[in-house]
Homo-oligomer: A and B are copies of this chain.
Amino acid sequence: MRFEVEKTCSDTRARVGVLNTPHGVVNTPVFVPVGSQATVKTLTPEELKGLGVSMVLANTYHLYLRPGVEIIGKLGGLHRFMAWDGPILTDSGGFQVFSLGHLRSISDEGVLFRSHIDGSEHMFTPEGAIEIQEKLGADIIMALDECAPYGAALDDMRRAMERTHFWAERCRKRHGREDQALFGIVQGGTFPELRGESAAFLTSLDLPGYAIGGLSVGEPKELMYSVIEETVAHLPSEKPRYLMGVGSPEDLLESVARGIDMFDSALPTRLARNGSLFTRFGRRNIRNAAFKDSEGPIDSTCDCYTCRTFSAAYLRHLFKSEELLAYRLATVHNLRFILRLMEEIRRSLLDGTFLDLKEHFLAAYQPTDEPTRIAQKRRWLESQRRKQVSR
């Protein structure tokens, strides 16, 4: 894998670059949609390409449990299995074990957990996480890390960080496939001194790229931005920097400004399935009665298939009727919105107008208090669990 910074912004730490992978070129800053179970929910590989997606993420945890890495290996690897011939990134599985909450115990050896599918017990070790990811065959793979929860005390955060370092060394040692790039993950919570130390240690391993983990997990946005600044200051400028789990328009702009090159997040696709659609003025809930007889598209400035083809009233009707096409059309829109924003960001960096774009966009865009809104939607959906499939 080769990474080249093409141009650095004169006003911010933002930069535009090119990431060369065995499955094609990725222009950075890039947003990587999440396809947990070897599918970006509702969409085909062709549609992803049409939206401007250049790389997708798949979750090692999910694929390890189902259908299993042996099956994917036997079927020619992940690219062939999901019929996506572009670059793929797999996570290590660690974060999913922590966040899905079936964690049993963590030791220096690895993470013991229970499957959320059948309750069976499994262990991820640093070496095992690499073996699994080698079988899946992604272009970029991640070292196993320990992500202590937001709010953990300094001592606990330090212990998790040190274990993450120890595991990163073991991952690096175990990793053999030359057609895969192994990224390390900086930990340290919201403690600037730990972040600096973690970035410096991982840099000493001379890995092809570095991720920032353990952010966007409940901390205030300003705190997240300052931790990004602190971390980036300790990372080498010639390697790609990947901020894990971030995907809201405002966070993308703020993080690019602080020197981030890569992002992944399930937010745009999950919001879409909940009927929450991005517009230049903020998110809109398509179920709102205001769209009942709205002839225009959800966002008149959008160039996506959904906005070019259907009225907001039709999209609202599909959501109210719980039609499967609703989730698909909304996903198309939200992903295109984010990918188009990333295209504009890259163009503005080349033009030298990034700061203008950022200021103009953020002046019009009204961010929502995300955790609250998502929790509300979740509860609403829980109360409505009527599945269309059997009708």
A interface residues (Cβ-Cβ under 8 A, vs B): 37-39, 41-45, 62, 66-67, 71, 74-76, 81-83, 270, 273-274, 292-293, 295, 305, 309-311, 313-314, 316-318, 320-321, 323-325, 327-329, 377-378, 381-382, 385-391
Is A274's CB under 8 angstroms from B66's CB? no
Judge whether A317 and B38 touch: CB under 8 Å. yes
**Told that A62-B321, A67-B317, A381-B389 touch, could you supply 11 new A-B pairs with CB distance under 8 A?**
A37-B323, A38-B314, A39-B323, A41-B325, A74-B293, A75-B311, A273-B390, A327-B389, A378-B390, A381-B387, A385-B386
The interface residues of chain B lying within 8 Å CB-to-CB of A45 are: 309
In angstroms, Cα B377 to Cα A274, docked, is 27
Is the pair A66, B320 in contact by a Cβ cutoff of 8 Å? yes
- Which residues on B sit within 8 Å (CB–CB) of A325? 39, 41-44
Q: How far apart sit A377 and B391, CA to CA, in the bound complex (Å)?
A: 11
The smallest beta-carbon distance between A338 and chain B, in angstroms, is 19
A323 touches B41 (CB 8 A): yes
A301 to B387, CA, bound (A): 32
B81 x A311 contact (CB < 8 A): yes
Nearest residue, chain B, Cβ from A294:
B75
For the complex, what is the distance from the CA of A71 to the CA of B329, rounded to whole Å?
Answer: 20
Q: A67-B320, A314-B83, A320-B66 are in contact. Are A295 and B390 (CB under 8 A)?
A: no
Alpha-carbon distance A42/B43, docked complex (angstroms): 11
Chain B residues near A314: list those with CB within 8 A.
38, 75, 81-83
User: B388 and A385: CB pair below 8 A?
Assistant: no
Can you give 10 A-B contacts (C-beta < 8 A)? A66-B321, A67-B292, A75-B311, A81-B317, A82-B314, A83-B310, A273-B390, A377-B390, A381-B389, A385-B387
User: Are A71 and B389 neighbours in the complex by a CB distance under 8 Å?
Assistant: no
Docked CA distance A82–B377 (Å): 26
What B residues does A71 contact at CB under 8 A? 292-293, 313, 317
Task: Tell me the complex Cα distance, A274–B382, Å.
Answer: 22
List the B side residues contacting A389 at CB < 8 Å.
273-274, 327, 381
The 4 closest A-B pairs by CB, nearest first: A381-B390, A67-B317, A42-B324, A37-B321
Complex interface: chain B residues within 8 A of A67 (CB): 292, 313, 316-317, 320
How long is the Cα–Cα vector from A74 to B314 in the complex, in angstroms? 12
Distance in angstroms between the alpha carbons of A66 and B322 in the assembled complex: 12
